[in-house]
Homo-oligomer: A and B are copies of this chain.
Amino acid sequence: MAKWYLGEGEQSDVVISTRIRLARNLKQYPFPARLDTKSRLAVNEVIRKAVPASAGLRYIEMKTLTQAQIVAFAEKHVISPEFASSADGRALLLSADEELSVMLNEEDHIRLQVMLPGLALEQAYDTADKLDTAINEQVEYAFDERLGYLTQCPTNLGTGMRASVMLHLPALAATNRIGALGSTVSKLGLTIRGAYGEGTAPMGDLYQVSNQVTLGISEKAAMENLKTIVLQIAAQERAARTEMLKTTETQDLVYRAYGILKSARLLDTREFMELISRVRFGAVGGLLPLDAKVPNALMIAMQPANLNARAGKNLSARERDELRAKLVREAL
């Protein structure tokens, strides 16, 4: 079954994907941090049974996966880096297209997540809400009339909803406007950060814009808020791209990136992400005869653990750079 990230959605020149994540906890159990393995497994069973068979989710105990498979899921944003850090008493419910996933015993008992290509907040929320409602018919959530959904971390209290949109911003990044964008969005209760390569410079010009506030605001209002700012950022990015594409310097960078990716024999992650970002920019801008879905898919598939998972073994960095170069040549 085709994975969600091979598809294309609204505003796809700038918006790579949309993610809705709901944090929920069972009323009759303490938060996961205070549960031993046995109790966690009991929680998993309760939730597993509460999920309707019609949802078509596969149940995966995390301890049955290799480290490469786990990190590969994190690279695809199917699971959180926190969830990938330990397998103890944790499980994952996952749809075949990887659009819908439920992390069990992450920070909360339930982290229900829907990912879709392009800008699709309402659609993603509807899917998440439907499954959330179905589960809630079977189990009682920890819920407070005044505070809303109770979560381990107070920053999730209220709706327990985090809506994120992943954006490709090569032109705003090249013109050093991401910093200013950060100040603006934070005033609106949102945050922007690199989607890959936290701690160092963001890789591939991929940025994630998310709502920060979950308390005292409805899901709908939070999403409206996010959607408005995303559309504004996308418009700015488009204007900056149009300016940049006029210059021979930009064309030079785009065509060189394409030329290198089509010919290199060794490609490390950081260089690959830098070049594929330029290629995606050039493809969307009409310079290159390439569907933007190709760089989208490569940005995920060429991550280190995804390559290891594909090879079925832990490759050395050097072997990975060689395999990455080979697969990229074939794809382009």
A: residues with CB less than 8 A from B are 248-249, 251-252, 255-256, 258-266, 322, 325
Given contacts A256-B263, A259-B263, A259-B264, 12 further A-B contacts (CB under 8 A): A248-B265, A248-B322, A249-B266, A251-B265, A252-B265, A252-B325, A255-B263, A255-B265, A256-B260, A259-B260, A259-B262, A260-B260
Distance between A64 CB and nearest chain B CB, rounded to angstroms:
36
Tallying the copies of this chain within the complex gives: 2
**Which residues from chain B contact A262 at a C-beta distance below 8 Å?**
259
Mind listing 8 A-B residue pairs with CB under 8 Å?
A248-B266, A252-B325, A255-B265, A256-B260, A256-B265, A258-B263, A259-B260, A259-B263
Distance between A206 CB and nearest chain B CB, rounded to angstroms:
24
Distance between A320 CB and nearest chain B CB, rounded to angstroms:
13
In the complex the two chains form, is A255's CB within 8 Å of B248's CB?
Answer: no
**Which residues from chain B contact A248 at a C-beta distance below 8 Å?**
265-266, 322
Task: Report how far A285 CA is from B251 CA in the complex, Å.
Answer: 31
**Which chain B residue has the least Cβ–Cβ distance from A251?**
B265
**Which residues from chain B contact A259 at a C-beta distance below 8 Å?**
259-264
**Which residues from chain B contact A264 at a C-beta distance below 8 Å?**
252, 255-256, 259
**Which chain B residue has the least Cβ–Cβ distance from A318?**
B248
Task: Report how far A259 CA is from B266 CA in the complex, Å.
Answer: 13
Task: Report how far A255 CA is from B326 CA in the complex, Å.
Answer: 12
Distance between A78 CB and nearest chain B CB, rounded to angstroms:
32
